[in-house]
Amino acid sequence: AQTPPFSIAIHGGAGTISKANLTDEQQQAYRDKLKQAVDAGYKVLEHGGDSLTAVTTAINILEDSPLFNAGKGAVYTYDGGHEMDASIMDGRTLNAGAVAGVKHIKNPIDLARAVMDKSPHVMLSGEGAEEFALTQGFDFVPVTYFDSDARYQQLLDAKAKLKQAESNQEGKADYQASLNYLDLDYKFGTVGAVALDKQGNLAAGTSTGGMTVKRFGRIGDSPVIGAGTYAENQVCAVSATGHGEYFIRYHVAGDICAKVKYQQKSILQAADEVINQRLITAGGTGGVIAIDQRGNIATPFNTEGMYRATRKQGEQAKVMIWQDN
Ligand code: ASP
């Protein structure tokens, strides 16, 4: 039987990217890093490596870059810290691993992978996740590793705007106001990857610093299997980025795969329906990268831009930010 072409797609977040506030040099820096990451994942596949390794290889490069809201570039919480979430799923076995609210792990996707491979659990959070990391010999980094002036400025701006949104309601904490504010103006930049390897196995992974000014131990969609990440052989693999509260409630990654599996929709149609119809009606912004068993790739998003790159067997990488380029 003919094997499908191996392929990979990655994203570096959607959201408040706009042509108006991104210089040509900045755009080029993002494009260069996306290309480096997608090519590294592609090489793994080309050499016969599995889709899980392609996914973590690409994500590690994005986590180590300060450009993206994951690992090194993680955004600040309301209290001025960093709390990272990540997950990974193996389409062959439906095994999955996830971590939430980790603070000292340089590459949270690797810890998610260890949870999948080396623990009897799927999701570990906070101190427990870091305790597990210790037992697995992970290197810890000080919290200052994740600090950056640019992200700190975003926190200050976001806090000022949030205060304004809330004080319109007579100074009382107004969570609807803050939700509306966050949806309009928070900083995205989550990273993710989906891949199909030569053996026909699908995998998906996602890693994030979450949302700027998030509070109270908030956990987004990225570590939630079925919301931010999903992979099932013969069906599809999805990694999401966007306003996590909506992606959890609308079960975005799982819903796309269910449409492919039970309604025989194409990956393009399934992903488009969820992102450009269901989520828009709900008011949830963001996008996904999705790949099916034949290596077809869909990358819909309902924001002005989404950092992304794809590469299919025998082709060069395609790197894009906006709807059309
Ligand atoms: N989905 C992520 C979250 O809500 C944020 C993002 O994609 O930028 O935590």
Question: Has 219 been labeled as part of a binding site?
Answer: yes
CA of 47 to the centre of ligand 1 (A): 32
Per cent of the chain over pLDDT 70 is 93
Pocket of ligand 1 (CB under 6 A): 13, 15, 69, 188-190, 208, 210-211, 220-222, 228, 241-242, 244, 247
pLDDT for residue 4: 79
CA of 15 to the centre of ligand 1 (A): 9
pLDDT for residue 263: 98
Parallel/antiparallel/unpaired status of strands 7-15 and 305-312 = antiparallel
Give this complex's ipTM. 0.96
Mutation pick for ligand 1 pocket among 190, 191, 250, 306 (CB with most ligand atoms within 8 Å):
190
User: Residue 2 pLDDT more than 80?
Assistant: no
pLDDT in tens, 251-263: 999 999 999 999 9
pLDDT for residue 175: 61
| pLDDT level of residue 172 (50, 70, 90 thresholds) | low
CA of 103 to the centre of ligand 1 (A): 16
List 56, 77, 190, 206, catalytic entry: 190
| pLDDT level of residue 80 (50, 70, 90 thresholds) | very high
Identify the weakest region by mean pLDDT among 7-16, 157-166, 214-223.
157-166
Helices (H), the chain: 24-46, 51-63, 108-118, 126-135, 149-167, 175-185, 244-249, 252-263, 267-272, 279-282
Residue nearest to atom 7 of ligand 1 (CA): 241
Determine the average pLDDT of the residues in 277-293.
96
User: Residue 180 pLDDT more than 70?
Assistant: no
Q: How many residues does the chain have?
A: 325
Kindly report the average pLDDT of the chain as a whole number.
93
pLDDT in tens, 9-31: 999 999 778 888 889 999 999 99
